[in-house]
Amino acid sequence: MGVAGKLGNLGVVTTTLEAAINWGRTKSMWPMLFGLACCAIEMMSTQASVYDLSRFGMELMRPSPRQSDLMIVAGRVTRKMAPVLRQLYDQMPDPKYVISMGDCASCGGIFNNYAIVQGVDEIVPVDVYVAGCPPRPEQLIHGIMTLHEKIKTQRIADWA
Amino acid sequence: MSERPLLNSTGHSTGVTEWEGTVQELQGLVSPRALTGETMLLNMGPQHPSTHGVLRLLLELDGETVVSCIPDVGYLHTGIEKSMESKTYEQAITMTDRMDYLNPMGNNLVYCLAIEKIAELDVPERAQIVRVLLAELTRINSHLVWLGTHCLDMGAMSVFLYAMREREMILDIFEMVSGQRMMSTYFRPGGLWRDVPAEFIPAVKAFMDYFPAKIEEYETLLVNNPLWIDRTQGIGVITPEDALAYGCTGPTLRGSGVNWDIRKAMPYMGYETYQFDVPLGEHGDVYDRFYIRMKELYQSVRIINQALARLEKAPAAFRSNNRKYVPPPRSELGRSMEAVIHHFKLWTEGFSLPEGEVYVSIESPRGELSCFLSSDGGNRPHRVHFRTPSYVHTMGAIPKMAKDGMLADLVGIIGSVDIVLGDCDR
């Protein structure tokens, strides 16, 4: 009787440890609540009602780097902000991932001048770049899905 | 103070330096009690969810009471004013969008107004109406983000979700006219980039039918909510005299009861011909600033409805015919040699403005947004400066309101002033 009886024997699912860990990592990835500029507004839109990032188990933005797995660098990184951003990244626990959202964070965008770091990858390692000025919420979601795909290919043997 | 280079993961210099300071360097900024450790120095930001971006506040606390609040801005300094000097006048419009990213159309507008004033360029009636309409939609858009984040800071989650839902409809309208959700660059010197599409008027009408009921919904949730009232009334009070002395404008000033709205005081784009009221507060506290913004939403709806009625009857010209500044339409290029020359000149080197200096102001959702434009007769701005409300409010009003208040109220104060750090640091 019960669900198991009706659906047949579902008692055992075989998988690899790697796949199980990577699946867990993708399904409850908590981004850091960390907005810099215009892209942060689109990041908020992604979180909010219409685009609803909670479909991917990612609605919980953590204001503290100690509790977050993913840093979405949303906006232009200035030379004054760069050391702060690096410190935040250093404070995040492993495994940690970085999405560079928007043109400014990816390569400086239209601001090639004295104030803006020409790409956040000069400071922290970046996993996924999302183009756009600012990227649409769909583009950010696509970037996040790309990161999920990347995580699913990670191997325990490569853990440092 | 010492300087330390920031290295990347491979141990190479990133070209960025970190500054290390000591508490002794704060002498003169904080009270002497802080240096002896009698009061506590607390750093808030730049990564703090309630500072609406990358504002850093250095707080001196006596228990939970804020003794002094020292803002540290510049974490989003983008060098926009300097970059604009290396772009032609028309290229530089894209830069203005990214200053106050909740008010892109307003930034376009003030910059175009400055160019139009110095060039004595005419703006057709249709363009003026569409500019007013979109500027008011931008105000609603900005106020919705303010409402959502302000409530989120104060612990009311659902208003954020509702406000963002309505905001998407406005962004759809922006995308319809300009092709971009946020950074529209739709206003150009002498008018608009192109005419509004046929589906624009029905879309705005549909939104206008839908939206007023939603403002009532937000008001039902908040205006008489005892939790909300406890959290906002009597908090962050600024007197009318102080508000004027600290250079407050917009809802921050009107919350204290001073009747000053650039749309009424120094009308631009034909605002003097529209019927609307300027909501005023009484007490100058967080609640009054919240309340008049809610009332401003209704006034924006009023203005948009009037603009819609005018737009239906307006003549078709959406951009000036002054060929020294405005490129000819595509259809003229095949017929007129002169048009080809103008087209070539305007798209290669851009237009040159007569020598001179102008200063224009508009009422942005946050207050008085002004543009100072200096031209040396060339095709690039000699100097552009923006007087942005967020900067003035961050440096003056927030420390004044926070002083002698509680630490927990600071979040409400920052939210009620509605600063945007892109606007502040530029």
Domain ranges of chain B: 2-72, 80-425
How many angstroms separate the CA of residue A95 from the nearest CA in chain B? 16
Residues with Cβ within 8 Å of B140's Cβ and at least 6 positions away in sequence, in order, are: B170, B211, B297, B300, B301
Q: Please report the pLDDT score of residue B12 as a whole number.
A: 65
Residue pLDDT, tens place only, A124-150: 999 999 998 889 999 999 999 999 999
Residue pLDDT, tens place only, A51-74: 888 888 787 788 888 888 899 998
Rg (CA), chain B: 23
Best of A32, A38, A88 to disrupt the B interface (most B CBs within 10 Å) is: A38
User: What's the fold here for domain B80-425?
Assistant: Cytochrome-c3 Hydrogenase; chain B (1.10.645)
Which residues in chain B have Cβ-Cβ distances shorter than 8 Å to A136? 181
Q: Please report the pLDDT score of residue B307 as a whole number.
A: 92
Q: Please report the pLDDT score of residue A122 as a whole number.
A: 87
CA distance B297 to B301: 6
Say which of B14, B94, B422 has its CB closest to residue A110: B94
pLDDT of B300 over the 70 cut:
yes
- Confidence band, pLDDT 50/70/90 cuts, at residue B241: very high
Cβ separation of A83 and B181 shorter than 8 Å?
Answer: no
**CA distances for B418 relative to B100, B173, B301, B302, B311, angstroms:** 12, 24, 20, 23, 31
CA distance B87 to B103: 22
Percent of chain A residues topping a pLDDT of 90: 16
Q: A123 CB near a chain B CB, below 8 Å?
A: yes
Name the more confident of B19 and B207: B207
Closest residue of chain B to A75, computed from CA coordinates: B76
Q: Please report the pLDDT score of residue B299 as a whole number.
A: 92
Percent of chain B residues topping a pLDDT of 70: 94
- Confidence band, pLDDT 50/70/90 cuts, at residue A2: low
CA distance B154 to B147: 11
ipTM associated with this complex: 0.85
pLDDT of A8 over the 80 cut:
no
pLDDT of B391 over the 80 cut:
yes
CA distance A137 to B296: 28
pLDDT of B14 over the 70 cut:
no
Say which of B6, B98, B183 has its CB closest to residue A86: B6
Cα B336 → chain centroid = 42
**Averaged over B189-213, what is the pLDDT?**
91
- Confidence band, pLDDT 50/70/90 cuts, at residue A3: low
CA distance B251 to B257: 10
Q: A119 CB near a chain B CB, below 8 Å?
A: no
Cβ separation of B145 and A125 shorter than 8 Å?
Answer: no
Closest residue of chain B to A136, computed from CA coordinates: B181
User: What's the fold here for domain A28-152?
Assistant: Rossmann fold (3.40.50)
At residue B265, what is the residue type?
A
Q: What residue segments make up the domains of chain A, in order of their start?
A: 28-152
Best of B50, B73, B75 to disrupt the A interface (most A CBs within 10 Å) is: B75
Residue where the block lists tokens 């070209």: B15
